[in-house]
Amino acid sequence: MSVALAERLDDATRDASSLRRFLAGLPGVDQVGLEQRAATLATRSIKQDAKRWAIDTAISMVDLTTLEGADTRGAVRSLCAKAVRPDPQRPDTPSVAAVCVYPDLAATAVEALAGTDVAVASVATAFPSGRSNRAVKLADTALAVDSGATEVDMVIDRGAFLEGRYGDVFDEIVAVKQACGDSHLKVILETGELATYDNVRKASWLALLAGGDVIKTSTGKVSPAATLPVAHVMLQAVRDFHEATGELRGVKVAGGIRTTKDAIRYLVAVNEVAGERWLTPSLFRFGASSLLNDLLLQRRAKQDGHYSGANYLPE
Amino acid sequence: MARSDRVGVAKTYKLYIGGKFPRSESGRSYPVTSESGAFLANASQASRKDLRDAVVAARSAFGGWSGATAYNRGQVLYRVAEVMEGRRDQFIAEVRDAEDVRPRTAESLVDTAIDRWVWYAGWTDKLAAVLGGTNPVAGPYFSFTVPEPTGVVGVLAPQRSSLLGLVSVLAPVLATGCTAAFVSSDARPLPAITLAEVLATSDVPGGVVNLLTGQAAELGPWLASHADVNALDLTGADPEHRTELARSAADTVKRVLRVPEQEPDWTSSPGIGRLRAYLEDKTVWHPMGV
């Protein structure tokens, strides 16, 4: 695929109609085969030392998220404290990758996380629906970036995508990427609204071509959110994109991942589909809130030899 | 087709966790035989991960169940007795097979079990009055005590009495507002599975009761050391193992119910000792006349 693809990639971004041609030319997803492979890989058993490693790796990949209308500055500050030291009684527990908040609370998170390795991610572009005009979306992005967020999670315009106005979606991502400056851009495809795996593949390539540093499954506000087959399709896209261009792009899965078992299944998928290289927080993330506590409980169970309880962890 | 040609539909006996009937995560099962050795069924053999899931389910159900009004809990438990009554014949057959008793004895055991459930159902809204109250104190305070449920209770159910014994240890847990993860009798699990079906079709919220069939010797240590279990009933444990289990329970300050060396005669009146065991006293001192 790679050489021919590389040539086609240059051509793809020339204008809206060449983009449409490129996306239409992507091979269709074999739904049955994909789901079967995802299900088979999900049965793989990870035990003992490998599980210990997987738990710590997964913790370091978490984007600890709070995206509620009722978020307060106090809640964000305590979430930041938890992000830095997830399990205060076990100082060897790794910190999470980032804290993810709404843009108006990004400044609070930046202040609380100053001097730590934990990044601040902010959603933007009229999250979660993305229903607003370009100017508002860019202003939203600017608010996040000016507040000090080093990662921006944007949503694509699913309406435009489903109407087939790929060029508009592309231009919007490019504009937001520009507004991000040095900040990392994660592009949320909201796969639960894209209806087919073929669309997920198209949207993934579209976002990668437009310059998204990471493609992300979902906002967490729509069901179904992240699923293993969808993650497979997106991991294939970043792998093929890397083969064609040499550039490393990441994947973030978000929504509905609550247990260590789920998280480990995703890690297996990352290793098998994209490759070992992607098993790092800079290229793979979990967007989650309750997942972290389950990871910590399992970590404690491994260390203590008996099961622990949520009462022993901070909220 | 003649009636005798019909292929019967054999039941799969599964666990009951979080309101669902899953197979064991381990995929294991074991044959259950009657006291006389006849094959009855294959039951799931729960693993420690099933136990972990059961405790998680019990913990997440605790808020709702303990927060329900005592009146509501009583109604729900009474409803369980109603559904048990509807399954009376099934219970009698299962108890007869499991315990190898005469039909009339089995009948009496099942009736006593249903009556016991009703008896405990009646206690839900009386506990606060009997075990709590106002305290006469020598100071300008209004002091009162209310009993509150302890939390998640781990139960190793009686090994011999498959239904009456089980009801006698389980109903008090629910009546106080606690939730339960219990390991049924190893050799006689079938009445417990039917009871789980009764609970699933009554109004008991999923996760309030979680049934594991399997070996108390295998699951007991994990239950006793589990930091998220607040109280422990070791009735079904081998008496030789009880001290060790109680010791590992002490690491997380569990309430460990004092149980007799041998299984008691479950037909006699139980008293409120088991209810008291799963309640914590909260005492409030309210300043007055200042």
pLDDT digits (tens, 9 = 90+) for B186-241: 999 999 999 999 999 999 999 999 999 999 999 999 999 999 999 999 999 999 99
Interchain proximity A307–B59, CB inside 8 Å: no
Q: How far is CA B246 from CA A87, A159, B129, B194, B259, in A?
A: 28, 61, 31, 30, 12
**Domain, as residue range, for A300:** 2-312
Closest CA to B155 of B123, B179, B125, B130: B179
Note the pLDDT tens digit of each residue in B79-122: 999 999 999 999 999 999 999 999 999 999 999 999 999 999 99
In this prediction, residue B5 has a pLDDT band, given cuts at 50, 70 and 90, of confident
The per-residue b/e assignment along A113-125, b for 16 or more CB within 10 angstroms, e otherwise, is beeeebbbbbbbb
Q: Is A153 a catalytic residue?
A: yes
Asked if A306's CB is within 8 angstroms of B222's CB, the reply is: yes
**CATH code of residue B173:** 3.40.605.10
Q: What's the number of domains chain A is made of?
A: 1
Residue B68 forms part of a structural domain: yes
Which of A293, A307, A308, A311 to substitute to test the interface with B, most B CBs within 10 Å?
A307
Q: Band the pLDDT of B2: cuts 50, 70, 90.
A: low
- Would you say residue B254 lies in a domain? yes
Cα–Cα distance between A99 and A65 in angstroms, integer? 6
* Angle at alpha carbon of residue A181, lines to A180 and A186, rounded to 5°: 40
Question: How far apart are the CA of B286 and the nearest CA of chain A, in angstroms?
Answer: 28
Q: For residue B185, tell me if it sits in a domain.
A: yes
Residue B57 falls inside a structural domain: yes
Give the nearest chain B residue to A294 (CA atoms).
B56
Q: Examine residue B58 and state whether it is found in any structural domain, yes or no.
A: yes
> Residue A62 sits in a domain of what CATH number?
3.20.20.70
Taking a C-beta distance cutoff of 8 angstroms, is the pair A59, A96 a contact? yes
Predicted local distance difference test score (pLDDT) of residue A231: 97
Cβ pair A293, B208 in contact under 8 A: no
Helix/strand number for chain A, H first, E second: 13, 8
3-state secondary structure of A185: strand
The pLDDT of residue B36? 85
Q: Is the confidence at residue B290, as pLDDT, over 70?
A: no
Q: Whose CA is closest to B233, among B281, B163, B168, B189?
A: B168
Instruction: Say how many CB pairs under 8 Å bridge A and B.
Output: 26
Chain A residue with Cα closest to B227: A308
How high is the ipTM of this complex? Answer: 0.85
Contact B228 A306 (CB under 8 A): no
B216-225 vs B48-67: helix crossing angle, rounded to 10: 50
Smallest CA–CA separation between B6 and chain A, in Å? 37
Assess if residue B108 is contained within a domain: yes
Contact criterion met (CB < 8 Å) for B52 and A310 = no
Matching residue, tokens 């996306």: A23
Q: Provide the mean pLDDT of chain B.
A: 95
- pLDDT of B253 reads 87
Specify whether A262 is catalytic.
no
Q: Do A307 and B55 touch (CB under 8 A)?
A: yes
Q: How far apart are CA B252 and CA B152, in angstroms?
A: 13
Total domains present in chain B:
1
A82 is catalytic: no
Q: Residue ranges of chain A with pLDDT lower than 70?
A: 1-3
**What is the domain range of residue B80?**
14-25+43-262+273-287
Residues of chain A with C-beta less than 8 angstroms from the C-beta of B222? 306-307
The answer, yes or no, to whether residue B1 has pLDDT greater than 60, is no
CB contact under 8 A, B225 and A309: no
- Residue A53 neighbours by CB under 8 Å, 6+ apart: none
The C-alpha of B63 sits at a distance from chain A's nearest C-alpha, in angstroms, of: 13
The token duo for A209 is 């071509």
Q: Quick check: bond before B264 cis, omega within 30?
A: no
| Interface check B228 vs A, CB under 8 A | yes
- CA–CA separation, A253 and A251 (whole Å): 7
